[in-house]
Amino acid sequence: MGSRYGGLKQLDGVGPHGETIMDYSIFDAMRAGFGKVVFVIRKDFEQDFREKILSKYEGHIPVEVVFQALDKLPEGYTVNPERTKPWGTNHAVMMGAKVINEPFVVINADDYYGPDAFRVIAEELKRERTRKGDYCMVGFRVANTMTENGAVSRGVCTKDSDSYLTDIVERGGIKFEADRTIVFNDENGERHTLNPDTPVSMNFWGFTPDYFEFSDREFRKFLDLNPGSLTGEYYIPTAVNTMLSSGEATVKVLDTTSQWFGVTYADDRAGVVENLARLHADGTYPEHLF
């Protein structure tokens, strides 16, 4: 909904010709070899979305649209009639189960991830897999995800010597100090510094279709633990951490040189516009994407 931003970020034209951030992600994905796009949207957003967004992709890449709704629950479960909050990011991913039959990535529509990020995850997803739960994610270097306009929250990743994810901890209040040191305070108020190259999750995941089976099972457990919940949400990192703990999944953390940027705050918009204009000027993108 873009409550901090003041509008629907996904439809904001921030490129030189009114391109949305999502347009750049789709362009980068196509260039990296992806062959289909699945949009997860609210049903009441459909008409605007088809008119303003989908029409531009015709003839470029096949698209599917699926809908996240409060009542899209496993059989036998019902939604509290007073609930208005969506069920979270992993519930959104589950909406694609009937139209996704190949390795896929999950991204946020209002985040700019960059060409290198799509390239490295496309290469990893092309690798042959012989077991379920063989997943990956792009670990952005935290220094490449910061904003000058306030503190941010990031999923700080820990990985083993083979670059497999061992844990994600959500940290809030990550910010630059005057000397550009990156710091945050933990739940006890203790100050910590982060190495600029520390990998963080920006919700850029690589899965195979068996992820839907795991997700359905874990979502049922979530609903059993949160009966009638008005606010509880089922997040991707929650599901992934559960599968890591049980040994049912591994997640390769992929490094990227890409600079992430987005519009967390309204004041971020000017910087996004400037960055995208520069990327067109330096030849990273053609004058018109589609």
Helix axes 236-246, 210-225, angle to 10 degrees: 100
In this prediction, residue 7 carries a pLDDT of: 52
Q: Is 239 a residue whose pLDDT tops 50?
A: yes
Contact call for residues 24 and 289 (beta carbons, < 8 A): yes
Measured distance CA(64)–CA(99) in Å, rounded: 7
Measured distance CA(101)–CA(190) in Å, rounded: 45
In this prediction, residue 5 carries a pLDDT of: 42
For 60, other C-beta atoms within 10 Å of its C-beta total 13
Q: Is 2 a residue whose pLDDT tops 70?
A: no
Residues in the chain: 290
In this prediction, residue 185 carries a pLDDT of: 92
Q: CA dist 215 to 78, 94, 133, Å?
A: 18, 7, 11
Measured distance CA(135)–CA(156) in Å, rounded: 18
Q: Is 73 a residue whose pLDDT tops 50?
A: yes
Nearest-CA neighbor of 150 among 114, 176, 132?
176
At 27, give phi and psi (nearest 5°): -60, -45
Q: How confident is the model at residue 278 (pLDDT cuts 50, 70, 90)?
A: very high
Measured distance CA(57)–CA(65) in Å, rounded: 13
Measured distance CA(166)–CA(210) in Å, rounded: 20
Q: Could you read off the pLDDT of 8-39 as tens digits, one per residue?
A: 667 788 999 999 999 999 999 999 999 999 99
Domains of the chain: 9-281 (3.90.550.10)
- Which residue type occupies 59? G
